[in-house]
Amino acid sequence: MKPTIYVANRCHQCGMVKDFVKKSGIDTNIYNVDLSTAQPPIDIFVYPALFIDSKLVAYGEDIIAYFQNQLIN
């Protein structure tokens, strides 16, 4: 299943993560919870949040580190 990133409005780290994902060509779904009906599979209080299947894998700038590690390995 494709990784999914949930972002929100007025979120500095959300912009950083979206820019990194786009520049890196990473195939992921990105949903803005403030502009769509999409919601994370569990309640969260920090955005951005990366899920694979329904498991929370990383949040905030750690998402960039997660993908950098995946690209290296």
State the DSSP code for 5. E
Q: How confident is the model at residue 1 (pLDDT cuts 50, 70, 90)?
A: confident
Give the integer Cα–Cα distance in Å for 40 and 62.
17
- Summarised one tens digit per residue, pLDDT across range 9-34 is 999 999 999 999 999 999 999 999 99
- Summarised one tens digit per residue, pLDDT across range 25-63 is 999 999 999 999 999 999 999 999 999 999 999 999 999
**What total number of domains does the chain contain?**
1
Q: How far is CA 32 from the centre of its chain?
A: 10
Residue 25 in tokens = 């060509």
Give the integer Cα–Cα distance in Å for 43 and 20.
25
How confident is the model at residue 71, as a pLDDT?
72
Residue 3 lies in a domain: no
Give the integer Cα–Cα distance in Å for 26 and 44.
23
Domain range spanning residue 22? 10-72
Residue 39 lies in a domain: yes
Indicate if the pLDDT at residue 73 is higher than 90: no
Residue 41 lies in a domain: yes
